[in-house]
Amino acid sequence: MRMIRALYPGTFDPIHNGHVDIAIRAARLFDELVIGIYDSPPKSLLFDTAQRLALARECLAHQPNIRVLPYRGLTVEFAAEIGASVLVRGLRAISDFEYELQMAHTNKKLAPDIELMCLMTNLGYAYLSSTILKEVAVLGGDVSGLAPEVVQAALRVRLAELGQSGANVVRMTASTRD
């Protein structure tokens, strides 16, 4: 029987409960799910690639068929390199859909054999993004329902490192669609 490997690519700056939910649900559908941590997205980052990778690994380490890998360059090229025939993305709203559709058409043009599968967000996480998580954290709000404990701790450490400039850095990383 053919083994199907899927790739769930993203920035994951940092990974949160909405991402974890999509990853666990997608992992049930495929033989293997690779979480691809994109090295240099066109947006500012709070955590570097090594930190985003380590956090995603800690959050998903208990899942036997999930692997977390960093990548750079085109997502479809990375998918081909690791033998993934499906890309997984999460959808929260129409705004996500418009972006995903544009990316899907682009990826289809570049790699016609790779299919995209979008999973709808869990209703409980429909409002959640890395930007919202970082904003609540920088304002000292309770992030306990938003991200796994390791991520909450990493946010505390990173914001303490940044001190006064934390709020500015977080706002520079804010995106309308992450």
CA-nearest of 135, 130, 3 to 55 is 130
Which of 35, 68, 86, 96 touches ligand ADP by CB under 6 A? 96
Q: Does 129 bind ligand ADP (CB under 6 A)?
A: yes
How far apart are alpha carbons 169 and 152 in whole angstroms? Answer: 17
Q: Which residues are catalytic?
A: 19, 43, 92, 130
SS3 21: helix
Least distance to ligand ADP, CB of residue 52, Å: 9
Q: Provide the token pair at 66.
A: 């999930």
CB-nearer residue toward ligand ADP: 38 or 164? 38
- Residue corresponding to tokens 């850095």: 169
CB 46 within 8 A of CB 174: no
Which of 7, 20, 22, 26 touches ligand ADP by CB under 6 A? 22
Q: Binders of ligand ADP: how many residues, by CB under 6 A? A: 17
Least distance to ligand ADP, CB of residue 75, Å: 9
Q: Does 148 bind ligand ADP (CB under 6 A)?
A: no
CB 34 within 8 A of CB 7: yes
Contacts of 175 (CB under 8 A, 6+ apart): 43, 129, 130, 131
Q: Does 19 bind ligand ADP (CB under 6 A)?
A: yes
Find the part of the chain contacting ligand ADP (CB under 6 A) among 62-70, 104-112, 126-134, 150-158.
126-134
Which of 79, 121, 143, 147 touches ligand ADP by CB under 6 A? 121
Q: Does 75 bind ligand ADP (CB under 6 A)?
A: no
Q: Does 158 bind ligand ADP (CB under 6 A)?
A: no
Q: Does 70 bind ligand ADP (CB under 6 A)?
A: no
Q: Is the dihedral of CA 62, 81, 88, 175 positive or negative?
A: positive
How would you classify the pairing of strands 66-71 and 32-38?
parallel
CA-nearest of 82, 92, 23, 30 to 58 is 23
In the complex, the residues that contact ligand ADP under the rule CB under 6 A are 10-12, 18-19, 22, 41, 89-90, 92, 96, 121, 125, 128-130, 178
